[in-house]
Chain A
Amino acid sequence: MFIQSTQRFLKICSSFKPKLLFAVIATAALSVAMTEIGMSDQQHTEKPKKIVSTHLCTDQLLLLLSDYDRIASLSFFSHNPSMSAMSDTAKNFPVNHGFAEEIVALDPDLILTSTFGHLSILLLKKLGYRVSIIPVASNLSDIATNIRLVAEAIGEEERGEAIAVSLTSRIDAVSLPDVTMRPLLAIYNQNGFTFGQEALITQLIETAGFRNLGAELGLGIAQHLPLELLLVHQPDALMLGDRNTSAALANELPNHPSLRRRYTDIPRIDMQSHLWICGTPFVADALDYLVEQRIRLSQ
């Protein structure tokens, strides 16, 4: 849900034409100036010293892998504790909103972003900036891959390898007492969204010995789950959206009276969403928590 709303927000920002037009003019003018003094010709071989991340997920990988003095700016979502597992650390860094103009002003050596980025990324590439696009992780093995990708881009291969190996071993160490019974778990987030096939969370749920209702119903990443279907498919556990988010209409649905009435006795799994919405090493904590819940359920 957060990923989805982030994407949506990004789309809205990038469709904000007057601002974009202004950014185009401003950056074009700047790039002319910079080309003339030969600044846009970057040396890719040496370690980037000024790194900007414009995506919530690359923000966290960057914080884990890089020396702090090389980080120039993070995306503005990075300060949100319900979205970012490293929001406390991130608060030490300035934020950007992904606008080309902001980023050009920082004059970074490297821009880290993800597949669903801004239109401004295309513009920045055209202007000769070095951009690394890290794909969204849709399964556990993608996470290690992404860690290595970021590590390589910023020249911290050793650190990356260590973190990736430790993550993989933590995931491999997961053991379940009883895998014959697989309880059905339903994710029901703000606005009635759920996650199904090809979502990272689905693999987490399944690795922890649950089945995911969203995946079983054939839904994809961040899709609407009709309330009536949730009521009919009687899950064994419910994972509702974060309770600490600000007042919003969106919170009404996970609190719908029909859920309270039908599912009073069903265990709620209160997992913090910042642990799993991005493919970071924190998913290991999410996995541990799910396994814990799974063991609690079978007792």
Chain B
Amino acid sequence: MNRLFQLADARFTVLLLCLSLAVVIGFLASLSVGPVGIGTLAVLSSLFSDSSDVAVIIAQEIRLPRALLGAAIGATLGISGAAMQGYVRNPLAEPGLIGVSASAALGAVLTIYFGLSTLYIWTLPLGGMVGAAIGVAIMVVIAGRGSSTLTLILAGVAVSTLAGALTSLALNLAPNPFAAVEIIFWLLGSLANRSMEHVWLAGPFMLIGIALVLTVGKPLDALSLGEDTASTLGVNVRGVRMRIIVGVTMAVGAATAVAGAIGFVGLVVPHLLRPLVGHRPSLLLPTSALGGAVLLLFSDVAVRLLSFGPELKLGVFTALVGSPFFLWLVLKLRHQYL
């Protein structure tokens, strides 16, 4: 009996180590891949140099922010998916699918095109967070009390479509000849050509959001038995809901404000990792954060390797990987929920 617990603990530790190793490899790969060939070691030594050599500038100003954002945004999306799924007890809840990312993108777009973010740069992540908050609030109102998968997904489609349409509308109304290019950025997401400025803008919010979500692990385990039972097990369900809402809103809002709406990471990662942690929502949180970072870092490397001509948008790649999963999940869950 005690042996069983120790076995589970050991397996979890090994999984965490493997995922951390994969994050490190993905991070190094992200630093190493680009249109200009610089070896991994050269990039690493460039990171700590203060010369103004071109390799140093590329490493510090282009590759580093891209890798940092890849890891942080991946972790954000992975853990947000895991937390939302744990809370609504439904494996299809995900920032992209239920419209949180799309409404965050809308919020960010509005701050940019009303010129707010030019005046006060910090309004950009703030706009993203306000948008995300509205998206999360709609999700909680509609699906907070364990409503059906169908309701959740249909509401998500409605919110996503509306937010996407309003984003396009805002971009078309703005006196901006680049609307078409930028609509694609906001709807599909990209890490290309981001700078350290974006890391400083969004990073702190993502870290606080992730940290906040990490505190709801055990309550989510208890919520596996439903809200009533969880309450009688000492879980303050309203407090948990608040922490998830605030955490997801901050992290996804800030992430989307600098990289656009990247879909499916929050769906695929928890789904793949769930069996490896014995379906325990508490263990799924840290592993999904790491797994999300791995998926996004490698997707971003793949996007750079696969690009012929203009760079493929990151969301295109994650959707290519994610949509089949989504379809498969829907088929699997058809009898259970729909």
- The total of chain B residues at the interface (CB under 8 A) is 32
> What residues of chain A lie closer than 8 Å to B309, measured between beta carbons?
223-224
Residues 265-276 of B, flagged 1 when their CB comes within 8 A of A and 0 if not, give 000000000000
Whether B36 pairs with A256 at a CB distance below 8 angstroms is no
Contact B178 A248 (CB under 8 A): yes
CA distance A191 to B176 in the complex (A): 12
A253 within 8 A of B: yes
- Residue-wise interface mask of A (6-25) relative to B, using a CB-CB cutoff of 8 A (1 in contact, 0 not): 10110010000000000000
B180 adjacent to A258 (CB under 8 Å): no
Secondary structure call for the A interface? helix
Q: Which B residue sits closest to A189, measured CB to CB?
A: B178
A9 touches B177 (CB 8 A): yes
Cα distance A246–B57 in the bound complex, in angstroms: 29
Q: What CA separation (Å) do A228 and B311 show in the bound complex?
A: 13
Known contacts: A248-B113, A249-B112, A257-B195. The answer to whether A231 contacts B177 by CB under 8 A is no
Interface members, chain B 79-125 (any A CB < 8 Å)? 112-115, 117-118
A246: which B residues are within 8 A, CB to CB?
Answer: 113, 115, 174-176
B50 to chain A, nearest CB (A): 11
Taking a contact as CB atoms under 8 Å apart, the answer to whether A227 and B193 are in contact is yes
Partner of B181, one of A191, A226, A258: A191
B54 at the interface (CB under 8 A from A): yes
Query: A234: CB under 8 A from chain B?
Result: yes
Interface check A98, CB cutoff 8 A: no
Chain A residues near B52 (CB-CB < 8 A): 261-262
Q: How many residues of A contact B (CB 8 A)?
A: 34
- Residues from chain B with a CB closer than 8 A to the CB of A1 are 177
A83 within 8 A of B: yes
In contact, B36 and A2 (Cβ under 8 angstroms): no
Q: How many contacting A-B pairs (Cβ < 8 A)?
A: 98
Assess A224 versus B311: contact at CB under 8 Å? Given A191-B181, A248-B176: yes
Binary per-residue interface labels of chain B (49-71) against chain A in the complex, 1 for a CB within 8 Å, 0 otherwise:
00010100110011000000000
Give Cα A262 to B34, complex, Å. Answer: 18
Find out whether the CB atom of A228 lies under 8 angstroms from the CB atom of B177.
Answer: no
The yes or no answer to A96 lying at the interface (CB within 8 A) is: no
CB <8 Å contact, B36 and A228: yes
- Decide yes or no whether B196 CB sits under 8 A from chain A: yes
Residues of A within 8 A of B193 (CB): 192, 227, 252-253, 256
| B197 contacts the other chain (CB 8 A) | yes
With the chains together, A86 CA to B112 CA distance in Å? 29
Chain A residues with CB under 8 Å of B178's CB are 5, 190-191, 248-250
Does A258 lie within 8 Å of B182, measured CB to CB?
A: no
Residue B310 interfacial (CB < 8 Å): yes
**A248-B61 in contact given A9-B177, A258-B195 (Cβ < 8 Å):** no
Interface residues of chain B, those whose CB is within 8 Å of chain A, are 34-36, 52, 54, 57-58, 61-62, 112-115, 117-118, 174-182, 185, 193, 195-197, 309-311
* 18 A-B pairs in the complex with CB atoms less than 8 angstroms apart: A2-B177, A224-B310, A226-B35, A228-B35, A228-B58, A228-B62, A231-B36, A232-B54, A232-B58, A245-B177, A246-B174, A247-B112, A247-B113, A248-B178, A248-B182, A257-B61, A258-B58, A261-B52
Can you add 16 more A-B contacts, CB < 8 Å, to A2-B177, A231-B36, A258-B195?
A: A5-B179, A5-B181, A9-B179, A83-B177, A190-B178, A223-B309, A226-B34, A228-B35, A229-B36, A247-B117, A248-B178, A249-B112, A252-B195, A253-B193, A256-B195, A261-B52
